Chains A and B, each alone.
Chain A
């Protein structure tokens, strides 16, 4: 095992593992959010469960935070190393002739997602942590006795600027995943005749999941 994560392939492998983890998380996040479109009650109870169950709060949540931080720090490390591998650039370079825009701009789509995550933390995570752990209110209830989760979500999407920012971020997430999904499989060594079918699935995931999030944001915006 000596030095595996100091090697180029080891770093790529670690990057791919963190990316797989994030893609599974994204699916789970989507599954809960989409409930808010169908049933206020289901969304509330799922949110309350996630927000109070100790395994989620004290184990999954720290792992997720670590995973996100690891992924973008490793992304920066790779980007810097890769820039150093060509100190003098071409005067004329026709990147579009041999690769997709998405694959050449992972750092920019990634940075857009990072900016979104900051906004997202300020919007939901920090208020949540402050209510639960600083004000000590673990009930998840509003003064009127109803759960607060749906109300909070619904209210956040009133502001058209926030909705626009979310939609834009999801476009970049889609671009990131359009390359990233299949790239992660290639990084862990899965590219042969058996994995060809994955490519289509990867495209579907990369388009449908972000589109679903956009739909949720628009749904709440236009249902006021």
Chain B
């Protein structure tokens, strides 16, 4: 197929940036979206132009690096996929595709389509972990019984790959689905309960300091999340946070 791409080009963090049109031909419907961009970049390099910078790493939907706001949606029009898992068969011959970086004050653009998502790392550092004393005599985690329902919900929350699609899709650039998932993952398990109070307080404080918006429950995040993280995790974080505020 032949496509017109409207790609956001921006030299660096301070550049104003603009959309630039590119024509690309002979795109196979079996290509992934990133492979299509690889073809475009090879073309640009051959012509002596600057290739389009975009993030990617695993290319199998597990690392969360690939981003991109494609035709007005994070990771494009398909559901439950990252951009590396998005196939060109989702598009038609002759289509015009808008490709923009994830937008949020807390995700500044570094170059072209690459944004700095280290605000997520700082939220994780604020409490997205459990403290375990390691010794030469590790205790098997399976020794602590966990209710099956809680284990399943914790596991589902833990599938969040920190891609930031929730922030990018949210009209308020709220990070609550991400933080809700990270809080829930531990809050549901006995190992996480020990530090639950500080965890939720510190992570929410960091989230607010990074400049993410307030959730207004539009639910866009849940729809666009490649891992199907549920809004129930936000409700759980709200409960945890309100309870923790009353305590501490």
Contacts and interface: CB of A to CB of B under 8 A. Distances in A.
Interface of A: 1-2, 4, 7-13, 78, 81-82, 84-95, 97-100, 103-104, 106, 179, 182-183, 186-192
Interface stretch (B35-43, B82-90, B99-107): B99-107
Interface in B148-191: 169, 171-174, 176
Contacts of B103: 86, 88-90
Contacts of A192: 232, 235
Interface stretch (B49-57, B126-134, B139-147, B214-222): B214-222
Contact of B100 (A9, A90, A99): A90
A86 B173 CA distance: 6
Nearest to B72: A94
Contacts, number: 140
Nearest to A10: B245
Contacts of A8: 174, 176, 204, 207-208, 212-215
Contact of A95 (B69, B215, B220): B220
B55 to A, nearest CB: 17
Contacts of A82: 171-174, 213-214, 216
B98 A86 contact: no
A70 to B, nearest CB: 16
Interface in B77-95: 77
Nearest to A189: B239
A9 B241 contact: yes
B202 to A, nearest CB: 11
B230 to A, nearest CB: 9
B238 interface: yes
Contacts of A13: 238, 242
B234 interface: yes
Contacts of B216: 12, 78, 82, 103, 106, 183
B213 A86 contact: yes
A78 B106 CA distance: 17
B159 to A, nearest CB: 19
B223 interface: yes
Contact of A191 (B214, B235, B241): B235
Q: What 5 A-B pairs have minimum CB-CB distances, sorted nearest first?
A: A94-B72, A85-B213, A189-B239, A191-B235, A82-B172
B73 A98 contact: yes
A170 B242 CA distance: 33
Contacts of A187: 215, 217, 238
Interface of B: 6, 8, 19, 69, 71-73, 77, 98, 100, 103-106, 169, 171-174, 176, 204-205, 207-208, 211-220, 223-224, 231-232, 234-239, 241-242, 245-246, 248
Chain B interface mostly helix, strand, loop or mixed?
mixed
A97 B105 CA distance: 23
25 contacts: A4-B245, A7-B204, A8-B207, A8-B208, A8-B214, A9-B204, A12-B214, A12-B216, A12-B238, A85-B104, A85-B211, A85-B213, A86-B173, A89-B103, A91-B19, A99-B171, A99-B219, A103-B217, A103-B218, A182-B217, A186-B217, A186-B231, A187-B238, A192-B232, A192-B235
Given A7-B205, A86-B213, A186 B234 contact: yes
Contacts of B237: 9
Contacts of B224: 98
Nearest to A4: B245
Contact of B231 (A9, A100, A191): A191
Nearest to A89: B103
A54 B51 CA distance: 74
B100 A104 contact: no
Nearest to B171: A104
A100 B223 CA distance: 12
A118 to B, nearest CB: 24
A85 B219 CA distance: 17
Nearest to A188: B238
A187 B236 CA distance: 10
Most chain A beta-carbon contacts within 10 A, residue among B100, B214, B231, B232: B214
Given A8-B215, A11-B214, A182-B217, A92 B238 contact: no
